């Protein structure tokens, strides 16, 4: 299986009627802190996953949120997708920032290669 894309989004509307259409709203790679640090944010990470024909369709999606070498949060979840089709995985991180800066979501399926998605927390306006 392959991660086609992974993004932070403000809102995600699951498919209604057409399984080939996803509505991703407010894609972002940085966000303004809702208050001065320390602060906890809960961004949604959505990953689009494709299972080639001939594969089992069984997978484990893992996301590790890191700041440098520090692990902030981890999510591991099994999933199933019909071979030859796409699916999505939605993970909501609960991330505490003691300072402004960047974290990186490390995503993978099983023991496959890591896919990296950065997120930068900016200070609130003065």
For 28-78, write each residue's pLDDT tens digit. 999 999 999 999 999 999 999 999 999 999 999 999 999 999 999 999 999
d(CA 58, CA 82): 9
d(CA 15, CA 42): 23
pLDDT value of position 20? 66
- The β-bridge relationship of strands 115-122 and 30-32 is parallel
Tell me how many domains the chain contains: 1
Q: Could you tell me the residue range of the domain that residue 16 belongs to?
A: 2-122
For the ranges 10-14, 37-41, 97-101, 106-110, the lowest mean pLDDT is seen at: 10-14
Q: How far is CA 76 from CA 59, 91, 93, in A?
A: 10, 9, 12
The arithmetic mean of pLDDT across residues 113-118, rounded, is 97
pLDDT digits (tens, 9 = 90+) for 68-105: 999 999 999 999 999 999 999 999 989 999 999 999 99
Question: What would the two tokens of residue 34 be?
Answer: 């809702």
CATH number of residue 108's parent domain: 2.60.40.10
d(CA 78, CA 19): 20
């Amino acid at each position: 299986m392959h991660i086609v894309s992974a993004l932070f989004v403000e809102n995600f509307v699951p498919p209604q009627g057409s399984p080939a259409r996803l509505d991703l709203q407010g894609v972002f790679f940085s966000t303004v802190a809702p208050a001065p640090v320390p602060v906890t944010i809960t961004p949604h990470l959505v990953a689009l996953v494709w299972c080639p024909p001939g594969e089992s369709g069984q997978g484990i999606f893992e996301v590790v949120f890191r700041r440098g070498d520090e692990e902030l949060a981890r999510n591991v979840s099994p999933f199933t997708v019909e071979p030859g089709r796409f699916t999505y995985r939605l993970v909501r991180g609960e991330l505490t920032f003691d300072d402004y800066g960047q974290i990186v979501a490390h995503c993978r399926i099983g023991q496959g290669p890591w896919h990296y998605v950065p997120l930068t927390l900016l200070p609130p306006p003065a």
